C-alpha cells in the first residue's frame, strides 16, 4: 500500500515515532508528511526522521493534506473509516477526484506481527505491570479492610502509575464481591470485607506499549494475586478452577497455523463442560501493543491464522450475577513452540 492517510495517534506513532492530539500522517509513494499545528511542529521536527513535518491550519489540517494529494497526482488513497466522522470524510473526499480505498484497521493489521524490539518493550511493560499487581496486593492486605471500590480504584491508579513514571493501559478495574460479576465493572461505594472476592484487571504503558493482566483472589489472611488460589467456599473454588483450566487449555491450543477461533473454543469447551457456558460472555482474548485492544481477536468467529510473534491475551471468565465473577488473564507471545506468557 503506497498511498494512505492516518489520524489515529498510535497509528501515527507507529509510522514515525511521534504523535500528538492534532495531526495527520500522509504517505504518498516514497514521500511521507506529518501535518500538525504550530503547537507541535518544533518537537515533531526534532523527533521525526522519516517524514517531512509541515505546519497546517489549526482549524483544518486536511486542507494541507488535500493540497499535497493534488500536487502528487496519485490516483488512489487508502484510509481507515474508523478514524473519520461522516462530515469530515464527505468534506475531504468531495474535493478530490481520486479513488478512496476503505481499509478498516489497516494500521493495526500492519502491527499484528511484533518485531523483536517491540517484544522486548512489551515484556518490560508486563514486568512493570506484574510488580504493580504485587504492590497493590500488599496495599490491600495491610490497609484494604473496609476500603470502598472508588478509593481502591484511586490507589490502584496511583500504584500502577509508579509516581508518574508510567502511564496506564486503561483505567483499572477493581471489583469486589458481586460487582466482579460485571466484566468491566465501574467502581462503587461497596466496601471490602473479609472472605470477599477481589478482581483486578489492570496494565501499564512502557514506551507507549501496553500490558494487560487480570487476577481474582479472596480477601483473607493469605491474600495475594498469584494464579494458584485456595478458597474456603467450595462453589467459588469450582468456578475459579474451571476458569484456570480453561486458560490452561487455551494456552496449550496456541500454535502457529491454527485459527484464532480454535483457541477460543479450547477455553470455551472447558467452561461449557463444567456447566458455566452461559456465563462466559466475552471473547477469550485480544491483541495488545500500542493499543490495549488490537488485532488479533481471539473469539469464536475469528478466522485469523495465528503467526509467530503475535501478541494477545488469554482471559476466560465466568460471571455469576449477584454472586461473584472470576477472570484470569495473561498476555502471551506466539513462539515456534507455543505460547510464552509475559510477566
Write the pLDDT tens digit of every residue in 193-215.
999 999 999 999 999 999 999 99
Final residue of a domain: which of 67, 91, 110?
110
Which residues constitute the domain of residue 45? 3-110
- The CATH number of the domain holding residue 33 is 3.40.350.10
Q: What is the pLDDT of residues 296-305, one digit of tens each?
A: 999 999 999 9
Residues 153 and 14 in one domain: no
Residues 72 and 45 in one domain: yes
Task: Calculate mean pLDDT across residues 119-137.
Answer: 98
Count of structural domains within the chain: 2
SS (H, E, C) the chain: CCEEEECCHHHHHHHHCCCCCCEEEEEECCEEEEEECCCCHHHHHHHCCCCEEEECECCEHHHHHHHHHHHHCCCEEEECHHHCCHHHHHHHHHCCCCEEEECCCHHHHHCCCCCHHHHHHHHHHHHHHHHHHHHHHHHHHHHCCCCEHHHHHHHHHHHHHCCCCCEECCCCEEEEHHHHHCCCCCCCCCECCCCCEEEEEECEEECCEECCEEEEEECCCCCCCCCCCCCCCHHHHHHHHHHHHHHHHHHHHCCCCCEHHHHHHHHHHHHHHCCCHHHCCCCCEEECCCCCCEEEEECCCCCCECCCCCEEEECCEEEECCCEEEECEEEEEEECCEEEECC
The pLDDT-based confidence of 94 (bands split at 50, 70, 90) is confident
Amino acid at each position: 500500500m503506497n498511498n494512505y492517510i492516518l489520524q489515529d495517534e498510535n497509528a501515527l506513532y507507529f509510522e514515525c515515532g511521534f504523535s500528538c492530539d492534532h495531526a495527520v500522517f500522509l504517505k504518498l509513494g516514497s514521500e511521507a508528511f506529518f501535518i500538525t499545528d504550530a503547537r507541535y511542529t518544533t518537537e515533531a521536527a526534532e523527533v521525526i526522521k522519516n517524514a517531512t513535518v509541515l505546519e497546517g491550519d489549526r482549524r483544518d489540517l486536511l486542507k494541507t493534506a488535500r493540497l499535497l494529494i493534488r500536487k502528487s497526482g496519485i490516483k488512489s488513497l487508502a484510509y481507515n473509516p474508523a478514524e473519520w466522522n461522516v462530515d469530515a470524510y464527505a468534506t475531504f473526499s468531495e474535493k478530490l477526484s481520486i479513488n478512496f480505498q476503505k481499509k478498516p484497521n489497516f494500521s493495526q493489521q500492519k502491527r499484528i506481527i511484533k518485531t523483536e524490539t517491540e517484544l522486548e518493550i512489551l515484556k518490560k511493560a508486563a514486568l512493570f505491570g506484574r510488580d504493580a499487581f504485587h504492590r497493590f496486593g500488599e496495599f490491600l492486605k495491610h490497609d484494604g479492610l473496609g476500603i470502598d471500590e472508588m478509593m481502591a480504584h484511586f490507589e490502584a491508579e496511583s500504584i500502577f502509575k509508579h509516581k508518574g513514571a508510567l502511564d496506564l493501559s486503561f483505567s483499572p478495574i477493581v471489583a469486589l464481591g458481586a460487582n466482579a460479576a460485571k466484566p468491566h465493572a465501574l467502581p462503587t461505594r461497596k466496601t471490602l470485607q473479609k472472605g470477599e472476592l477481589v478482581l483486578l484487571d489492570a496494565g501499564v504503558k512502557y514506551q507507549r506499549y501496553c500490558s494487560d493482566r487480570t487476577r481474582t483472589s479472596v480477601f483473607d489472611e493469605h491474600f495475594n494475586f498469584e494464579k494458584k488460589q485456595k478458597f474456603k467456599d467450595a462453589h467459588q473454588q469450582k468456578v475459579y478452577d474451571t476458569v484456570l483450566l480453561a486458560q490452561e487449555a487455551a494456552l496449550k491450543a496456541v500454535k502457529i497455523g491454527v485459527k484464532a477461533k480454535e483457541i477460543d473454543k479450547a477455553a470455551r469447551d472447558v467452561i461449557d463442560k463444567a456447566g458455566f457456558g452461559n456465563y462466559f460472555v466475552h471473547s477469550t482474548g485480544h491483541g495488545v501493543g500500542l493499543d490495549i485492544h488490537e488485532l488479533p481477536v481471539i473469539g469464536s468467529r475469528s478466522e485469523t491464522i495465528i503467526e509467530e510473534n503475535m501478541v494477545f491475551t488469554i482471559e476466560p471468565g465466568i460471571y455469576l450475577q449477584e454472586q461473584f465473577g472470576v477472570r484470569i488473564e495473561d498476555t502471551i507471545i506466539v513462539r515456534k513452540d507455543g505460547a510464552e506468557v509475559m510477566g
